[in-house]
Structure 1
Amino acid sequence: MEAASQAAIHAEGPDLSTIKRAPIVIALIIGAFVAILNETLLGNAFPDLITALKVTPSTIQWLSTAYMLVVGVLVPITAILQEWFTTRQMFIGAMTLFLIGTIIAALAPGFEMLLVGRVVQALGTGLMLPVMMNTILAIFPPEKRGGAMGLIGLVIMVAPAIGPTVSGLILDQLEWRWLFYLIIPLAAFSIIFASIYMKNVSKITKPKVDILSIILSTIGFGGVVYGFSKSGDLGWSDPQVYSMVAVGILGILIFVVRQLTLKSPVMDMRAFKFPMFALVTVLMLVMMMTLFSTLTLLPLYLQGPLMLTAFTSGLIMLPGGIVNGMMAPVAGVLFDKFGPRVLVIPGLAIVVLAVYMFTGVDMETTKGYLIMVHIILMIGISLVMMPAQTTALNQLPRSLYPHGTAIMNTLQQVAGAIGVALFISIMSNGTKDYLAKSSNPADPLESLRGMVEGLHNAFWVGLCIGVLALVIGLFIRRTSPPEGEEPRQGMGH
């Protein structure tokens, strides 16, 4: 039965044999670059925004948390949306939403409107990222996907690399609104380019949409992310925190059970029947927690205890980001040649080493040391991220591609949000504990020492999570599509 349905998909899906891959990949890359650049421009601006908008650090965190929350809630339903709308409609619609959100944010009179703009931007990003992954899977045969994913990886990593530096430069010279003004022409160009070159690569089946599943996934993923996000503010003993996390987990459990009983699930859990997909999904959860937490803690450390400007902290993080971007295509080519083990296991060991080196930072740590450790961390991450994801998705039959990418993207967003909230709450609590024991807690120098103490606690927890990722990574191996999945003809093997 499964083989027959696969054959039907091959017969009726769009003819991809004559498709020009390069313009489609360029359209995807421009969109991804714009969305991800925007995300990293803002992170480095938080200290400035706190002053400009007269809000607290825990309030400003919502610009990032709400973004992840919306993406985390939206991504689960992208799998079914991709069976209702063409690739072209999805991508252009996503970028249009992103553009509207950017305009709202640029013109926002205060924090509330800025948050609305961020939420609309997140709607666009949440729709676009799974479409991008799914399109790459559809237009490249398995043996060429590593290289294609590496190219996407290059862009996905260069945007965060230059983001903090560009944002530091803008904030030193102009006001924060320019962080959004500069994105507007880029987003508009992306829409025009995609309108000309984007082609449809998915099959429109218009399955029945289960509204209850969408409500359950929203409550489930939304509840977990929201609960973790509030933990930094309120502490874990607050009823609002643990009740939201509990409701979220219950929502996810009911959502999963429901997906297993539906004929047309919103998110097809059968992807977890494929062992490498299941293993890598867990690995990516753990990796994203380590990655997001480190990238959130570093600017706070650089602009707090080390008292550096936004621009200088951006410059310190620039070399690591550039190295990561340059490594992504190399890792992709090596992956196509040697498979995942050669890259993923050493990559995870390098990540563990870098996080261990971060546990020793203090108020006297030199800029050179921080640049070196950040480069080491980014080399490790580039060897793990794209090769592991490609390995997982290569094992799935073609009918599960949209579901596989949706599962992976959702869980990464949720893990990222949990990671940020968890590590910021560990840092805050460490700082509070230090000041409680301090003989002079009102001294500004003491509060900076307290922050260093809190950072140490957070990095040690990060190290434990990194070691867990390394253990999981030892089980990874090369995958190929299931039996009966013929490679597509005319795709230029």
Structure 2
Amino acid sequence: MKQYNTRAIMASLLICGFIGMFSETALNIAISNLMDVFHISAATAQWLTTGFLLTLGVLMPMTGLLLQWFTTRQLFIFSLASSIAGTLIAALALNFEMLMAARVLQAVGMGLLIPLMFNTILVVYPPEKRGAAMGFVGLVIMFAPATGPTVAGLLIEYFTWHYIFWLSLPFLVIGLLVGLKNLENVTEVTKPRIDVLSVVLSTIGFGGVVFGFSKAGESAGGWTSAVVITSIAIGLVTLVLFALRQIFMKEPMMNLRVFKYPMFIVGLLMVLSCMMIILSSMIILPMYLQNGMKLSAFSAGLMLLPGSALNGILSPRMGRLFDKYGPKWLVIPGLAIVAATLWFFSGITQASSIAFIVTLHIGLMIGISMVWMPSQTNGLNQLPPELYPHGTAVMNTLQQVAGAIGTALAISILTSGMENYLHKSAAPNAVNEVAQAMTLGSQNVFLFAMIVTLIGLAMAFFIRRVVVKHAAMNSMH
């Protein structure tokens, strides 16, 4: 196997990935601030997040193809140029439209970088060392979004929201320079035929589904609105056509043969359930801390920091444990821990102590770190090397879709719970009643997340370690 300067390659990819993920969540804390500054409604401000997710949902399915059309370096440079341009425009943004355009550019950068990162790891690391390497990606994917709100809360309190982007810019430039010096081309450029129809179908399909669910999460009567029903329906029908087209093509844009590998499917389902658990609980918890328990944005961010930091620190450790013992002994206990903490979360009240909530959050994050990376690495390990780009494209795309669905479900469960309570309340506008409604709505969301976890736990019993025999198989062909 060819020797790569894996440390330097990983360093450049991780720095850029970290900053990209950081700015994705840092802006969430600034949303209410931006609504005042730009005089926009919550539904409009929501587009800064929805637009970002939508761009990812449209771009991710194409990454399998792009990884075969362009060299690693070309994609890396383009992805960073897009991220840097987006970050600079965001830092200078004078109005909502300018910031929105910047977010789309940032999403294009991230949409290329994350699959590139996974694919590079699969190529430059031998299977027995992949768990630890994927663990570092886990550190980035979990720790960056976690520090986002805390750092952003500080910046907004003492400076302006522009500084979220000014802070990110130098790191992206450093990542680009490190990458230019050390990143090698690790994939073969085969230039498969680009099927325009597949591109169109995937864009409408994934875009429609992500857009529909994001819209549903925005308003109370979300699910029944014509826009939501139409876009989800069009999206699903188009996805069926897209899948059929991929199955019958000689060189598919997204190779669905990855679904022939049982451990890939189990790993994928685990990752998707983790994504839904994390997003549904991570959106509700800060809202509950700020509106139910009346804490400041900065305090709420600080409370979530220990759990998220620990998750980031443990990810590489879990990766090493996975390399040594395989997935089963991590995934099953991990899901059991997640289910237990969510059960306790579903009973939190305004009287719950801060220490109790921080402890539960730490438990939740430890459990997730035991499930996410081991099941993802195990699933991708089962694929033959020529399917790596497709496997990462499928996983990353469906994660975005699961994220949009999880967020939308969480917000609608929360709002319906609150509405039901306030509907029966004698004083629906009283501060303590609204906080009480927020508590009940949040409890329902945690119960929903717990049900998802239990379904995941049932599936986890089917997971088994993949023994990689690719080298032997390739010589047989």
TM-score range normalised by the length of the shorter chain? over 0.9
- Give the counterpart letter for 1:139 in structure 2: V
Residue range with higher mean Cα deviation, 150-159 or 355-364: 150-159
2:306 and 2:362 in contact (8 A); partners too: yes
1:259 and 1:267 in contact (8 A); partners too: yes
Give 1:149's aligned residue.
134
- Give the counterpart letter for 2:334 in structure 1: G
- Give the counterpart letter for 2:239 in structure 1: I
Identity of aligned residues (%): 46
Given the two structures, how large is their TM-score scaled by the length of structure 1? 0.93
Give 1:123's aligned residue.
108
1:204-243 to 2 correspondences below 5 Å: 204-232=189-217, 233=219, 234-243=221-230
1:143 and 1:336 in contact (8 A); partners too: yes
Give 1:29's aligned residue.
14
Q: Distance in 1 between matches of 2:161 and 2:387?
A: 42
Q: CA deviation at 1:483?
A: 5.7
1:165-184 to 2 correspondences below 5 Å: 165-184=150-169
Q: Distance in 2 between matches of 1:29 and 1:229?
A: 28
Q: Distance in 2 between matches of 1:446 and 1:112?
A: 37
Superposed CA deviations along residues 317-363 of structure 1, whole A, max 9, x for unmatched, are 11001111111111011101100001011111111111111111222
Give 1:333's aligned residue.
320
Unaligned runs of 5+ in 1: 1-15, 489-493
- Give the counterpart letter for 1:235 in structure 2: G
Q: CA deviation at 1:156?
A: 2.8
- The structure with the greater share of residues assigned to helix is 2
Give 2:462's aligned residue.
475
Q: CA deviation at 1:149?
A: 1.1
- Give the counterpart letter for 1:215 in structure 2: V
- Give the counterpart letter for 2:292 in structure 1: P
1:130 and 1:405 in contact (8 A); partners too: yes
Superposed CA deviations along residues 143-196 of structure 1, whole A, max 9, x for unmatched, are 111111112222333322322221111111011111111111111111121111
Q: Is 1:345 matched up with 2:332?
A: yes
Q: CA deviation at 1:99?
A: 1.1
1:225 and 1:414 in contact (8 A); partners too: yes
Q: CA RMSD in A?
A: 1.6
Give 2:34's aligned residue.
49
Q: Is 1:282 matched up with 2:273?
A: no
Which of these residues, 418, 422, 427, is aligned with residue 431 of structure 1? 418
Residue range with higher mean Cα deviation, 330-339 or 286-295: 286-295
Superposed CA deviations along residues 191-213 of structure 1, whole A, max 9, x for unmatched, are 12111111100000111001111
Residue range with higher mean Cα deviation, 435-444 or 242-251: 435-444
Give 1:358's aligned residue.
345
Q: Distance in 1 between matches of 2:457 and 2:395?
A: 19
Superposed CA deviations along residues 277-306 of structure 1, whole A, max 9, x for unmatched, are 012212222221111111111111111111
Q: CA deviation at 1:43?
A: 2.2
Q: Distance in 2 between matches of 1:98 and 1:399?
A: 28
> Could you say what secondary structure the match of 1:446 adopts?
helix
Given the two structures, how large is their TM-score scaled by the length of structure 2? 0.96
Give 2:365's aligned residue.
378
Q: CA deviation at 1:486?
A: 5.5
- Give the counterpart letter for 2:204 in structure 1: I
Q: Distance in 1 between matches of 2:144 and 2:160?
A: 21
1:484–1:27 CA distance, 2 compared to 1 (3 A):
closer
Q: Is 1:443 matched up with 2:440?
A: no
Superposed CA deviations along residues 213-235 of structure 1, whole A, max 9, x for unmatched, are 11111111111111111113142
Give 1:19's aligned residue.
4
Q: Distance in 2 between matches of 1:187 and 1:308?
A: 33
Give 1:137's aligned residue.
122
Residue range with higher mean Cα deviation, 119-128 or 36-45: 36-45
Superposed CA deviations along residues 348-381 of structure 1, whole A, max 9, x for unmatched, are 1111111111111222221111110110000001
1:56-95 to 2 correspondences below 5 Å: 56-95=41-80
- Give the counterpart letter for 1:36 in structure 2: M
Q: State the number of aligned residues.
A: 473
1:351 and 1:380 in contact (8 A); partners too: yes
Give 1:412's aligned residue.
399
2:5 and 2:182 in contact (8 A); partners too: no
Unaligned runs of 5+ in 2: none
Q: Distance in 1 between matches of 2:4 and 2:40?
A: 51
